[in-house]
C-alpha cells in the first residue's frame, strides 16, 4: 500500500486501540488504561483540553457580538447544524459545520456531530436514565428487530459502576419502568411542576412523575474530587465546557483519568479510515489512519480494537474496512451491517399556561426537567402502535411582557421587565422508533471526503408507527395538562427530520444469532472477535430513555470481558 509510514512500527503498536474520544470512547480508554493496557485513542478532531480550551465558558451575554444568537451568515451557511438548539454563538466551535463534512441524505436526516477530543460529550444535555427490564425484553415480546442478547440484570451492576464515577443526580423513586441508580441528591421540582405531578398521579394510576436524572454533581463525592471536578452551580452554560467540571464529559473526567495511569496515548487529528484485517491470523490487527491535516496515511496495531466513533461513523468505518474475507465490510457476513438504524421521535410537544402561584419563584437554572417513564405498551400490547414514549415537562416564569396598562415603552415597561411573568409549561416526547431493515446507511460509490473516505449515505425515515405514537402523545399530553389545571394548551408537530434527536442508533446491532446480528452479548463482532463496538451502533432497539448512560455501561462491561479474554489468551 502506498504512503504508509512503517518506519516507526514499534511505536505504532499498543495493547488496545480506541477509535473516537467521545462519551463511549472516553469510557473505553479509562477502563482499558485502568486495567493496565497500553491504549491508543485515535480522534479525528482537534485536541480540546479541559478548562484551557473552553474559550466562551466565562463570558457574559454582552461579550458576544450577537448576544449569544447566530449571525445570519452562520445560520445560512449551516442549515443542518443550526437546527440544533445548542448551535448558538457560545458553542458553535464544538459543532461540525455543514460544509466541512458532507454526507448524502437519501431521505432528510439532520446529522449533528462534534468532531474533537471529547466528541459530543461537551455538548450533550446530560440526561441519564437506566433502561428497564421491559426495554430489553421489548423486541422479543413484541416481535420486532431481534432479541437483545442481554437483560437488565446483566447490565445493572455496570450502570451502578458507571453512575458512581460519572456522578448522576436523581431521586430514588422505586419505579420499575425507570430503575433507580446510584444517585447524588436530586434537583427539585418547582411549585407548579409539583402541582401538575400531584394531579397527574392522582388521575392516572399507571403514570409516574419524577424529577429528571442527569450527569451533574449536586454533591461531589471523593471519586469526583479525584477527577478534579466540583459542584454544579446551576448555570446551564454547559455546552461551553464547564469550568467547575460540574457535568460529566470525556474531557473533564474519563480522559484525564486514563492519562493519569500513564497508559494512555491520545492522538487527535487522526482520521481512522479503516480497520485492518489479517487473513492468516483471522483477526483484526490494527487501523489505517489519515492525518487530518497532512493527509498522510499511517497504521497502528493492537490486540483489541474498540470502535466508538458514534453510531453512524462507526458504521462508516466498518463498511469501509474491506478485505477478501470481508468484501462488504468488517464482520458483515450476513449483509446487515448498516441496517436497522433507529432513533428517537421528538416531533410532538405541547405548551400551556397555569394561572396563580404568583407568589412563588425558583432559584437558579436547573439542568433537567420533570419526567414520566413510558406508560404505553409496557406490560402488554394495548395500542395500535408498537412501544411508547417518555414524557418530559417543565414549568417556569417568563418575563412580564408589558406594564400594567399594556405599555411596551417607558418607565412602566422597564419596571414590568423586572417582575416575573406568568407560569408557562412545556411538555415534549422522546419516542421509541422501531429498527427496520429499510432504515439504513451505506457508502457512496462515487463521492469521497477530503480524507479519502466514501461519503456516508443516510436513508432513514419515520413510519406509520411513529405518526401514531406521536398523535397518541399529543392527545395524552393535552389531557394530562388539562386535568392538571393548565390553560391555553397548544399541541405541535415539529415535523423535524430524524437525526435532530441526536440519538441515532443501530446498524451494528447486538443479538444472539450471527445470522441476524453483528455483535454478541459482549459487543464483540461475531465474525471478528477482537473488535468491539460499544457506541450507539450496537443498539438492538432504542428504548425511550436518553441513550448515553447505556453506552457507557455497555462499554465498561465489554472492556472487562475483553481484557479477561485477552488474559486467557483468547484474543
Ligand atoms: C445537543 C445535544 C444534546 C444531547 N443530549 C443528550 C442527553 O441529554 N442524554 C444523552 O444520553 N445523550 C444526549 N446526546 C447524545 C450524546 O451526545 C451521544 O449519545 C454521545 O455523545 C454518544 O457518544 P459516542 O462516544 O458514541 O459519540 P461522540 O461523543 O460523538 O464521540 C465520537 C467521537 O468519534 C470521533 N470520530 C468519528 N469518526 C472518526 C474517525 N473516522 N476517526 C477517528 N475519530 C472519529 C468524533 O470526532 C467524536 O469525537 C446529546 C447530543 C447533543 C449534540
Ligand atoms: S450548570 Fe453546572 S455543569 Fe453546567 S456549566 Fe453550570 S456549573 Fe457547569
Rounded distance from Cα 410 to ligand 1 centre (Å): 47
Going by alpha carbons, the residue nearest to atom 4 of ligand 2 is 238
Would you state the pLDDT for residue 536? Answer: 98
Rounded distance from Cα 216 to ligand 2 centre (Å): 8
Would you state the pLDDT for residue 1? Answer: 36
Euclidean distance between CA atoms 571 and 567, whole angstroms: 8
Rounded distance from Cα 171 to ligand 2 centre (Å): 19
Rounded distance from Cα 446 to ligand 2 centre (Å): 45
Q: Which helix (H) or strand (E) holds 159?
A: helix 152-166
List, in order, residues 6 or more apart from 78 with CB less than 8 Å away: 87, 95, 97, 98, 99
- What's the full length of the chain, in residues? 571
Number of neighbouring beta carbons within 10 Å of residue 199: 18
Pocket test for ligand 1, best of 83, 341, 548 (most atoms within 8 A of CB): 548
Task: For residue 118, give the C-alpha cell.
Answer: 471529547
Would you state the pLDDT for residue 6? Answer: 45
Euclidean distance between CA atoms 564 and 205, whole angstroms: 46
Ligand 2 within 6 A of CB of 224: no
Report yes or no: 300 and 42 within 8 Å, Cβ to Cβ.
Answer: yes
Ligand 2 within 6 A of CB of 244: yes
Can you give the pTM of this predicted structure?
0.97
- The SS3 assignment for 278 reads strand
| Structural domain boundaries in the chain | 11-170+212-346+434-461+497-568
Rounded distance from Cα 505 to ligand 1 centre (Å): 11
Superfamily in which the 11-170+212-346+434-461+497-568 domain is placed by CATH: FAD/NAD(P)-binding domain (3.50.50.60)
What atom of ligand 2 comes closest to residue 233's alpha carbon?
7
What atom of ligand 2 comes closest to residue 57's alpha carbon?
5
Would you state the pLDDT for residue 9? Answer: 63
Q: What's phi and psi for 487, nearest 5 deg?
A: -120, 170
- Looking at all shown ligands, the one closest to residue 56's CA atom is 2
- pLDDT tens for each residue of the chain, 571 residues long: 334 444 456 789 999 999 999 999 999 999 999 999 999 999 999 999 999 999 999 999 999 999 999 999 999 999 999 999 999 999 999 999 999 999 999 999 999 999 999 999 999 999 999 999 999 999 999 999 999 999 999 999 999 999 999 999 999 999 999 999 999 999 999 999 999 999 999 999 999 999 999 999 999 999 999 999 999 999 899 999 999 999 999 999 999 999 999 999 999 999 999 999 999 999 999 999 999 999 999 999 999 999 999 999 999 999 999 999 999 999 999 999 999 999 999 999 999 999 999 999 988 899 999 999 999 999 999 999 999 999 999 999 988 778 888 888 999 988 888 889 899 999 999 999 999 999 999 999 999 999 999 999 999 999 999 999 999 999 999 999 999 999 999 999 999 999 999 999 999 999 999 999 999 999 999 999 999 999 999 999 999 999 999 999 999 999 999 999 999 999 9
Report yes or no: 143 and 124 within 8 Å, Cβ to Cβ.
Answer: no
What atom of ligand 1 comes closest to residue 127's alpha carbon?
8
Rounded distance from Cα 109 to ligand 1 centre (Å): 16
Pocket test for ligand 1, best of 42, 48, 124, 543 (most atoms within 8 A of CB): 124
**Alpha-carbon dihedral 327, 28, 542, 91, rounded to 10 degrees:** -110
Rounded distance from Cα 512 to ligand 1 centre (Å): 27
- Looking at all shown ligands, the one closest to residue 187's CA atom is 2
Euclidean distance between CA atoms 544 and 568, whole angstroms: 38
What atom of ligand 1 comes closest to residue 42's alpha carbon?
43
Report yes or no: 156 and 164 within 8 Å, Cβ to Cβ.
Answer: no
Euclidean distance between CA atoms 508 and 315, whole angstroms: 7
What residue ranges line ligand 1, CB within 6 angstroms?
19-25, 42-45, 84, 86, 112, 114-116, 119-121, 123-127, 271-272, 308-310, 313, 317, 502, 535-536, 546-548, 551
- The SS3 assignment for 406 reads coil
Would you state the pLDDT for residue 13? Answer: 97
Ligand 2 within 6 A of CB of 123: no
Rounded distance from Cα 108 to ligand 1 centre (Å): 20
Report yes or no: 472 and 376 within 8 Å, Cβ to Cβ.
Answer: yes
- Looking at all shown ligands, the one closest to residue 252's CA atom is 2
- Looking at all shown ligands, the one closest to residue 548's CA atom is 1
Euclidean distance between CA atoms 369 and 367, whole angstroms: 7
Amino acid at each position: 500500500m502506498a504512503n504508509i509510514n512503517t518506519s516507526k512500527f514499534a511505536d505504532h503498536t499498543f495493547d488496545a486501540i480506541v477509535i473516537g474520544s467521545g462519551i463511549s470512547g472516553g469510557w473505553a480508554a479509562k477502563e482499558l488504561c485502568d486495567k493496565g493496557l497500553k491504549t491508543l485513542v485515535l480522534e479525528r478532531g482537534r485536541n480540546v483540553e479541559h478548562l484551557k480550551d473552553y474559550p466562551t465558558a466565562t463570558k457574559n451575554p454582552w461579550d458576544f457580538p450577537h448576544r449569544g444568537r447566530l449571525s445570519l451568515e452562520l445560520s445560512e451557511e449551516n442549515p443542518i447544524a443550526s437546527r440544533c438548539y445548542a448551535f448558538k454563538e457560545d458553542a458553535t466551535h464544538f459543532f461540525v459545520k455543514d460544509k466541512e463534512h458532507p454526507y448524502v441524505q437519501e431521505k432528510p436526516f439532520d446529522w449533528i456531530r462534534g468532531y474533537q477530543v471529547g466528541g459530543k460529550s461537551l455538548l450533550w444535555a446530560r440526561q441519564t436514565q437506566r433502561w428497564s427490564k421491559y426495554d430489553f425484553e421489548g423486541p422479543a415480546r413484541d416481535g420486532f428487530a431481534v432479541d437483545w442478547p442481554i437483560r437488565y440484570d446483566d447490565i445493572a451492576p455496570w450502570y451502578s459502576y458507571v453512575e458512581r464515577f460519572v456522578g448522576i443526580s436523581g431521586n430514588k423513586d422505586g419505579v420499575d419502568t425507570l430503575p433507580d441508580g446510584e444517585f447524588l441528591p436530586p434537583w427539585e421540582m418547582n411549585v407548579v411542576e409539583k402541582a401538575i405531578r400531584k394531579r397527574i398521579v392522582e388521575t392516572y394510576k399507571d403514570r409516574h412523575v419524577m424529577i429528571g436524572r442527569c450527569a451533574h454533581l449536586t454533591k461531589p463525592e471523593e471519586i469526583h474530587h479525584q477527577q478534579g471536578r466540583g459542584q454544579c452551580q446551576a448555570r446551564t452554560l454547559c455546552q461551553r465546557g464547564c469550568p467547575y467540571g460540574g457535568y460529566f464529559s470525556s474531557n473533564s473526567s474519563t480522559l484525564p483519568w486514563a492519562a493519569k495511569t500513564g497508559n494512555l496515548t491520545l492522538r487527535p487529528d487522526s482520521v481512522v479510515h479503516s480497520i485492518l484485517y489479517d487473513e492468516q491470523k483471522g483477526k483484526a490487527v490494527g487501523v489505517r489512519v489519515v492525518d487530518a491535516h497532512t493527509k498522510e496515511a499511517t497504521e497502528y496495531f493492537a490486540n483489541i480494537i474498540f470502535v466508538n466513533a458514534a453510531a453512524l461513523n462507526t458504521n462508516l468505518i466498518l463498511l469501509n474496512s474491506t478485505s477478501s474475507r470481508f468484501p462488504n465490510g468488517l464482520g458483515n457476513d450476513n449483509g446487515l451491517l448498516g441496517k436497522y438504524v433507529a432513533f428517537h421521535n421528538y416531533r410532538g410537544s405541547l405548551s400551556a399556561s397555569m394561572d396563580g402561584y404568583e407568589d412563588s419563584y425558583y432559584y437558579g437554572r436547573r439542568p433537567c426537567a420533570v419526567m414520566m417513564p413510558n406508560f404505553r405498551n409496557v406490560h402488554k400490547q394495548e395500542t395500535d402502535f408498537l412501544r411508547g414514549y417518555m414524557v418530559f415537562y417543565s414549568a417556569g416564569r417568563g418575563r412580564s411582557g408589558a406594564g400594567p396598562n399594556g405599555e411596551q415603552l417607558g418607565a412602566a415597561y422597564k419596571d414590568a421587565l423586572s417582575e416575573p411573568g406568568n407560569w408557562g409549561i412545556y411538555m415534549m416526547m422522546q419516542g421509541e422508533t422501531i429498527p427496520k431493515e429499510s432504515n439504513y446507511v451505506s457508502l457512496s460509490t462515487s463521492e469521497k471526503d477530503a480524507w479519502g473516505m466514501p461519503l456516508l449515505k443516510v436513508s432513514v425515515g419515520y413510519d406509520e408507527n411513529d405518526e401514531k405514537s406521536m398523535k397518541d402523545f399529543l392527545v395524552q399530553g393535552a389531557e394530562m395538562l388539562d386535568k392538571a389545571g393548565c390553560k391555553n394548551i397548544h399541541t405541535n408537530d415539529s415535523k423535524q427530520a430524524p437525526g435532530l434527536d441526536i440519538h441515532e442508533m443501530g446498524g451494528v446491532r447486538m443479538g444472539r444469532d450471527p445470522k441476524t446480528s453483528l455483535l454478541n452479548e459482549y459487543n464483540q463482532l461475531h465474525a471478528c472477535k477482537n473488535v468491539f463496538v460499544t457506541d450507539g451502533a450496537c443498539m438492538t432497539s432504542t428504548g425511550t430513555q436518553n441513550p448515553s448512560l447505556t453506552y457507557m455501561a455497555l462499554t465498561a462491561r465489554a472492556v472487562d470481558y475483553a481484557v479477561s479474554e485477552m488474559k486467557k489468551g483468547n484474543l
